[in-house]
Amino acid sequence: MKQPSATVADQAAIAEAAAILEQGGLVAFPTETVYGLGADAENPAAVARIYEAKGRPHDHPVIVHLAPGADLDYWTTDVPDEARQLVQAFWPGPLTLILKRNPRIPDAVSAGQDSVGMRCPSHPVAIALLQAFKGGKGGVAAPSANKFGNVSPTTAQHVRDEFGMDTHDDGALNGDDACSAAELSRVLEGGSSEVGIESTIVDMSRLATHGPVLLRPGHISAQQIADVIGMLPAAPDQAAPRASGTLESHYAPRTPVTMLAADGFAATLSQLHAKGVKVALIGHDLPAALTTSAHAQRMLPADPAGYAYGLYAALRDMDQTDAGLILVETPPQDAAWLGVNDRLRRSVFGSAGVIDALLQK
């Protein structure tokens, strides 16, 4: 999937967005993973506006996005050689590194922790924005551009839908819809996010004592990381830093979501249909004959990269139907699907027993 380029026509919008950030405002912008809701990472008041706009808990840190070639030593007090190797191998790209935060960096971005999460996105519009902001020497704090806990946006329209925005074609707010200081001022267009799920997060802040730790799986696998630094990241321990997108309940539509293995679909769909329950179905390897009683459906590619690319859009689309349940065919459980399964596990958290409850009505 080829990313759109940042054209000359985009430059005015990018310059305006960079100016908004420098003035302490909020800007949504595309990355290769999902769209981010950005603010000046060195402006605590601006970062606070992210939390307010999203309804995000203040103990949940955000990730700082940097331009290519940014000086990591400005942001951290210790960059291990292994971290620099990962930067060389995967930046720009969907990898976030947790490192010791330099005291000059406000702790607002790290929710009071002594660490900071950083990455350099590969989307050309994101790169252009980061290079324009403070001459490429600033950092943009940016979690996903959605209300906290909801499905992350992978298009500009998803962002506008999430925040109830009416826009001109260029993404600027209409005058009648001007936002307060805590809300979003501009959405930069960048097509559909190429990866479709959030970045891999690796803790490198405790390398000497704990080695690398995989805090959130994503497009870049643990094995790919091990191939670069010679160490396989460990699972999170109780003392691991808090990181973005790692709460048990996350990435969830309003409609209840549950997963079911393919061999249980026929009977379950039939039972729910008989009870008058409208089911929105997301699958990847189901025969057409098995899905005839679904109220709405979306079939995703049967490979992990293609599935991840379409997952959040599918969840959002099925959430727009009047279904009483989103039923997801359980994906494969091998290592290549770890990021997809992590996001689905968090989206269905708290939905145990929802099928039984619907059948008992």
Give me the tens of pLDDT residue by residue for the chain, a chain 361 residues long: 444 555 544 899 999 999 999 999 999 999 999 999 999 999 999 999 999 999 999 899 999 999 999 999 999 999 999 999 999 999 999 999 999 999 999 999 999 999 999 999 999 999 999 999 999 999 999 999 999 989 999 999 999 999 988 654 344 444 333 344 458 999 999 999 999 999 999 999 999 999 999 999 999 999 999 999 999 999 999 999 999 888 777 888 999 999 999 888 888 888 998 999 999 999 998 887 777 788 999 999 999 999 999 999 999 999 999 999 999 999 999 999 999 999 999 999 877 788 888 888 7
CA neighbours closer than 13 Å in the CB half-sphere of residue 115: 24
Torsion (CA) 102, 105, 108, 112 in degrees, nearest 10:
20
CA neighbours closer than 13 Å in the CB half-sphere of residue 351: 24
140: left (phi over 0), alpha (psi -120 to 50) or beta: beta
Whole-number Å distance between alpha carbons of 344 and 347: 5
Q: Which two tokens stand for residue 338?
A: 């770890």
Instruction: List the one residue out of 182, 197, 200 whose CA is nearest residue 95.
Output: 200
Helix axes 304-319, 338-347, angle to 10 degrees: 20
- Exposure b/e, 151-161, CB count within 10 A at least 16 = b: bbbbbbbbbbe
Q: Is the dihedral of CA 333, 339, 341, 342 positive or negative?
A: positive
**At a CB cut-off of 8 Å and minimum separation 6, what does 123 contact?**
3, 30, 31, 32, 190, 193, 194
CA neighbours closer than 13 Å in the CB half-sphere of residue 5: 3
Give the residues across from 259 on adjacent strands: 328
Instruction: List the one residue out of 71, 68, 198, 220 whose CA is nearest residue 143.
Output: 198
> What phi and psi, each to the nearest 5 degrees, are found at residue 185?
-100, -30
pLDDT for the residue numbered 187: 96
> What phi and psi, each to the nearest 5 degrees, are found at residue 348?
-95, 0
Whole-number Å distance between alpha carbons of 326 and 329: 10
Rg from Cα positions in the chain = 21
pLDDT for the residue numbered 171: 47
Residues 50 and 26: beta-carbon distance below 8 Å? yes
Give the residues across from 36 on adjacent strands: 29, 144
Cis peptide bond upstream of 92, omega within 30: yes
Beta-carbon count within 10 A of 176 CB: 6
Task: Look at the block and give the residue holding tokens 């995703």.
Answer: 300
